[in-house]
Amino acid sequence: MIILGVDPGLTRCGVGVVEAGASRRLSFIHVDVVRSDPHISQDLRLLAVYNGLAAKMERFCPDTVSIERVFAQENRNTVLGTAQAAGMAMLAAAQRGIPVALHTPTEAKMSITGNGRAPKIQVERMVAQLLGLSQIPQPADAADALAQAICHALRPAGALQGGEREQHLTLAQRQWADAAHHAKASRHTRGVDRGM
């Protein structure tokens, strides 16, 4: 399975491509940053991001596009630009019939390191290690895009069936699956307690 990860951004939009093979063996394919000129109008910047992402999808023909889920930040302009860039990625994928997955930064950290609060440098080092790279991809947007692709490849749900799934999970994947199970159970218990 070829997975194209996207770290959305208006000025720099990270793109990372990996292949997830048998037993979730990961292979590095490509990493880059799609850029837009901050001195041109917003519509033309979005067009530049869209064209860059569309070209990557045409070149690598991914089975899935994994995009970082946009979350609230203090800087309203930053989050708006990020959300718009994510929309361009979703549009480019939808036009080509490519399924889209959204993962939060916490999910990516958990799947890669086993710690949803891992510092950025730890995630970057693990990305390089998992893909057999001699150095951390630069800039950070590029490493984040690879992290998104890896996160989707290592997600515990749906990749393998039954007992086979448990046998092939790494420690980080088991911890992520356990955390997700406990969170779901906790939500269900709170709903029962409230008479829902």
Binding residues for Mg(2+): 7, 68, 141
Active site residue 7: yes
Residue among 19, 68, 144, 164 flagged as catalytic: 68
Distances (CA, A) of 150 to 51, 70, 154, 174: 24, 18, 6, 15
Name the residue among 104, 69, 108 with its Cα closest to residue 87: 69
Residue among 107, 124, 141, 144 flagged as catalytic: 141
Counting other chains too, the contacts that 168-176 makes at CB distance below 8 Å and 24 or more residues apart are 168/23, 168/24, 170/24, 171/114, 172/110, 172/111, 172/112, 172/113, 172/114, 173/111, 175/110, 175/114, 176/107, 176/110, 176/111, 176/114
Active site residue 68: yes
* Cβ-based neighbour number of residue 2 at 10 Å: 18
Name the residue among 132, 121, 127 with its Cα closest to residue 146: 127
Structural contact between residues 151 and 131, judged by C-beta atoms closer than 8 angstroms: no
Active site residue 141: yes
Task: State how far the Cα of 172 lies from the Cα of 195, in Å rounded to an integer.
Answer: 35
* Catalytic residue set: 7, 68, 141
